Amino acid sequence: MQTEHDATDQNKSASIHDELSKLEQDIYDALVDEVNVRETVHNLTLKAMKADRLDIDSIRRIVTAVASGVHEGAQQKFLTANDQTQTAKSQITAAIAGLDSALARFAEASKLALQEAAGHAQKFSDQELVRTRSDLEGLETLFLDTLKNTSSATQGLVSDIFHDITKHAKNNGTLVGTQLKETLGIFAQQAASVGQAQMEAGAQLTHATAGFIHKIASGVLSGIKDHARDKY
């Protein structure tokens, strides 16, 4: 017999599935329509990250949905086209750059959440700091692995382009990797100050981070500078 709790979990699971499916479709449409691909992917990814349930698994699902949408959209747009290699590379590169910059802003939002807590003499628990720091440390690897897996999922022009972008990102670095160095430095400072004087921050770090992502996505905060717009 299904309990009320089970029904609630199933409803949440269905809702998450629907949201991810819509995200993937929106990314697909952005590639097919070729309208401000980098900015569109960036904004759609941030919008998906605004939920309070942020953790490494939810971020992985979001990144996978975005990469899948880019892949499928590019396949639809360029697979049967002649002499479209450069255009395809430009659009896919723009989309991946949008995903990279959105992940960088997620890392920045975590940093801002910590700094705000410190500014109010509040501290998150050591356990939460350790867990969140561990999640962040794997964020760039998650990004690169998703690109690699997407490249391996098929063959042809789009696969080759994903492969080249992944190789370039590994060799030259990513926006999220650059931001993580700064963010993880702040985490180290906060962890060192926790000691025995832990205080409840009034909200979980993931919730606080989601709040900053909402502000960034809404334009209230400028977020990181887009100095590396043409990084790829």
Task: Give the percent of the chain with pLDDT over 70.
Answer: 77
Can you give the pLDDT at residue 6? 52
- Strands in the chain per DSSP E: none
> Mean pLDDT of all residues in the chain?
81
Q: Which tens digit of pLDDT belongs to each residue from 146-172?
A: 999 999 988 888 899 999 999 999 999
Q: Quick check: 24 pLDDT over 60?
A: yes
Residue among 119, 143, 224, 137 nearest 187 (CA): 137
Q: Which tens digit of pLDDT belongs to each residue from 79-88?
A: 655 567 788 8
pTM score of the predicted model: 0.84
Main-chain phi, psi angles of 40, to 5 degrees:
-65, -45
Contacts of 88 (CB under 8 A, 6+ apart): 74, 77, 78, 81, 157, 158, 161
Contacts of 218 (CB under 8 A, 6+ apart): none
Q: Quick check: 174 pLDDT over 80?
A: yes
More confident residue, 8 or 149: 149
Under DSSP, is residue 193 helix (H, G, I), strand (E, B) or coil?
helix
Return the sign of the alpha-carbon dihedral for residues 49, 53, 54, 60: negative
Q: Where on the phi/psi map is residue 34: left (φ > 0), alpha (ψ -120 to 50), or beta?
A: left
Can you give the pLDDT at residue 221? 56
Burial class (CB in 10 A: 0-12, 13-18, 19+), 84: middle
Q: How many CB atoms lie within 10 A of CB 87?
A: 13
Distance CA 219, CA 116 (A): 18
Q: How many CB atoms lie within 10 A of CB 231?
A: 17
Q: Which tens digit of pLDDT belongs to each residue from 54-92?
A: 788 889 999 999 999 999 998 888 765 556 778 888 999
Distance CA 31, CA 25 (A): 10
Distance CA 223, CA 3 (A): 43
Cβ 61 vs Cβ 20: under 8 Å: yes
Boundaries of every domain in the chain: 4-217
Under DSSP, is residue 10 helix (H, G, I), strand (E, B) or coil?
helix
Distance CA 13, CA 143 (A): 23
Which range is most confident: 121-130, 136-145, 186-195? 136-145
Can you give the pLDDT at residue 220? 58
Cβ 139 vs Cβ 104: under 8 Å: no
* Confidence grade of residue 201 (pLDDT, cut at 50, 70, 90): very low
